[in-house]
Amino acid sequence: MAGLARLQSTCVIKVLFTVGAIQLLQMAVLLLRTKGLALLLGPEQLGVLAVIDKLVAVFVQTASLSLPFAAIRFLPSLWDADRREFFTRLRGMSVVGVGLPGVAVAIGIGVTLINPSAWGIELAPYRPILLVAFLTIPAQALVPFITNATASALAPSRSMLFALVHAAVFAVCGLLGAWAFGLRGIYALYVVPATALAGVVLVRLNTPMPRSPMPPLLASARALPREIWRFGFALLALTFLAPYAALFVHYRVLRDLGPQASGWMQAAIGISLAVRAVLGSAHPVFLTPNVNRGGPAEQRMQWASDFQKTLCLLTAVVLPPLLLFPDIAVRLLYSADFVPAARFVFLFVLVEVVTLLAGAYQPLVLALDRLGYHVAQNMTAQGIMIVVGALAIPRFGIAGAALAALSSQVFLYISTTVFLRRSFGLRLPPRPTALSLYLVAILIGAGLVGRTPAALQAQDLGLRTAIYLAFVAGLALFLTRADYARLRELTRELTGWKLGVTGG
């Protein structure tokens, strides 16, 4: 078991470095898009764009029928066991994944033409933009499906490479569109190249190697196992409610506080999403496929715990500087017009970190075939977000929106760990749990310090640097001798790889 734990921890770090390297490039491309849109649009238009994006996301995620999630849930075990069945199921899921978003496009455009105020009074003036935005639904639905289906073939690097190419298309089309045509152009220029990219890669992904006869397209969809249909329809309410809860919170800020405040909140959320892009890269392409490959529940729990421990260590080293200087991050990523968002950055980053911590154990619920509990749990969490948002936003503004999202993720973390303990006797290991609490504590501490604008004087820089070093030094309390040995081993391997590449 000790040898397995060492292998798992080392693999996790390697994947976070290798997949993370591609993810860093992807994040850099998306940050360039974010920066460009901030300069081209300003807080008010960016706030409106964020709400429209979330409305489209309701259609995208509902129409996807949880197929991206189903791909990562049901396909990995077939890659080694039955390659033909892998491609048969992938083919059927691909057909459904193309057809349902097409229906969603028709519904979205139809409602917008007949009754645009159905989306809210604040969005009614933007009907031409909404019409174009709904055309992006197929591409937006297919991209996560393709990414997860590729990862299901145990090819995380290829999966991230596709995501990187899509990010480049997304960024270039968004910037050119905003520069030439404003909000409408962001969607209009994206539709054709993104749909073409997704279509070409999807066809290539469905081509087995070596080639073998496959059933017709419609027959493949009808032949999908009942468990996949049951999985998709069981999650249908959740796939609608989750993006709707995000839409509700952001639309409430737009309605109660105005488009400028909505833009500020989007800036804070944008920085937190950049954090998720880097630190969450290994969740869908590494953690979830591995806990779904089979094995005893205890072994899967060990996988998740080792993964979370590694994640906590990396997060504790990487994130505090961002939270100690959030105003600088906002200026670099957006512009001086968005500086009021700096006070809220640590709240939304904390939301993402708690989401990643909960996400280390949540895949176990589905991997152990507890679909009903997963749906009920997550629907409750989204309900909590809506209720807390309705109560907190009028009183606390943007901070209330962050509180709503945070309360939802805290509930998910606690309810997941309690369920695993009561249903399977799986207890959280004390050391990773304590490390998680320490991580949350130092992020809150760094965030509270960072709410004071950085003076960028020697005394201020020295104080914040000392705080950061103290936070990192505290990590030594949670490391075992085996951890130090693995870190030394990893350092040697990474150094040797770097030297080998340089020498070559």
Is pLDDT at 501 greater than 80 in this prediction? no
The most confident of 44-48, 68-72, 303-307, 473-477, by mean pLDDT: 44-48
**Rounded-to-integer distance, Cα 414 and Cα 223, Å:** 38
**Rounded-to-integer distance, Cα 103 and Cα 8, Å:** 43
Any idea where the domains of the chain sit in the sequence?
A: 1-38+238-504, 66-234
Are the CB atoms for 15 and 23 separated by under 8 Å? Answer: no
Q: At 502, is the pLDDT very low, low, confident or very high (cuts 50, 70, 90)?
A: very low
Written as six digits, the tokens of 96 are 């459904």
Per residue in 303-329, pLDDT (tens digit) is: 788 888 888 888 898 899 999 999 988
Per residue in 394-413, pLDDT (tens digit) is: 999 999 999 999 999 999 99
Provide the 3-class DSSP secondary structure of residue 223.
Answer: coil
Q: Is the dihedral of CA 329, 51, 278, 398 positive or negative?
A: positive
CA proximity to 268, closest of 366, 365, 344, 379: 344
**Rounded-to-integer distance, Cα 449 and Cα 25, Å:** 30
Written as six digits, the tokens of 330 are 């906002």
**Contacts (Cβ under 8 Å, ≥6 apart) of 4:** 299, 302
For the chain, the maximum distance between any two Cα atoms, rounded to a whole number of angstroms, is 71
Q: At 276, is the pLDDT very low, low, confident or very high (cuts 50, 70, 90)?
A: confident
**What local confidence, expressed as pLDDT, does residue 4 receive?**
44
Residue whose tokens read 């609490």: 437
Answer with the residue of higher pLDDT: 12 or 48.
48
Chain-centre distance for alpha carbon 343:
23
Per residue in 77-94, pLDDT (tens digit) is: 787 777 888 888 888 888
Least confident of 104-118, 277-291, 331-345: 277-291
**Contacts (Cβ under 8 Å, ≥6 apart) of 187:** 129, 132, 133, 135, 136, 177
Neighbour-count burial of 305, counting CB atoms closer than 10 A to its CB (0-12 exposed, 13-18 middle, 19+ buried) = buried
**What local confidence, expressed as pLDDT, does residue 493 receive?**
53
**Rounded-to-integer distance, Cα 276 and Cα 369, Å:** 27
Are the CB atoms for 135 and 192 separated by under 8 Å? Answer: no
Cα dist from 18 to 79, 155, 265, whole Å: 22, 12, 32
Element housing 385 (H / E): helix 371-396
**What local confidence, expressed as pLDDT, does residue 16 receive?**
52
Mean pLDDT score across all residues of the chain:
85
Is the backbone peptide bond immediately before 210 cis, with ω within 30 degrees of 0?
Answer: yes
Are the CB atoms for 354 and 409 separated by under 8 Å? Answer: yes
The alpha-carbon radius of gyration of the chain (Å, integer) is: 23
Chain-centre distance for alpha carbon 456:
33
Provide the 3-class DSSP secondary structure of residue 242.
Answer: helix
Q: What is the mean pLDDT of residues 227-240?
A: 87
Per residue in 135-149, pLDDT (tens digit) is: 999 999 999 999 988
**Contacts (Cβ under 8 Å, ≥6 apart) of 18:** 156, 157
Per residue in 354-389, pLDDT (tens digit) is: 999 988 888 888 788 888 898 899 999 999 999 999
**What local confidence, expressed as pLDDT, does residue 277 receive?**
74
Written as six digits, the tokens of 163 are 């995501």
pTM assigned to the model: 0.81
**Contacts (Cβ under 8 Å, ≥6 apart) of 436:** 308, 312, 357
Q: At 486, is the pLDDT very low, low, confident or very high (cuts 50, 70, 90)?
A: low
Written as six digits, the tokens of 499 are 């030297």
Q: At 11, is the pLDDT very low, low, confident or very high (cuts 50, 70, 90)?
A: low
**What local confidence, expressed as pLDDT, does residue 454 receive?**
64
**Rounded-to-integer distance, Cα 309 and Cα 313, Å:** 6
Are the CB atoms for 55 and 132 separated by under 8 Å? Answer: no
Alpha-carbon torsion, ordered 352, 120, 381, 258, to 10 deg: 40
Q: Supply the DSSP string of 58-100, one letter for each residue.
A: HHHHHHTTTHHHHHHHHSHHHHHH-HHHHHHHHHHHHHHHHHH
**What local confidence, expressed as pLDDT, does residue 64 receive?**
92
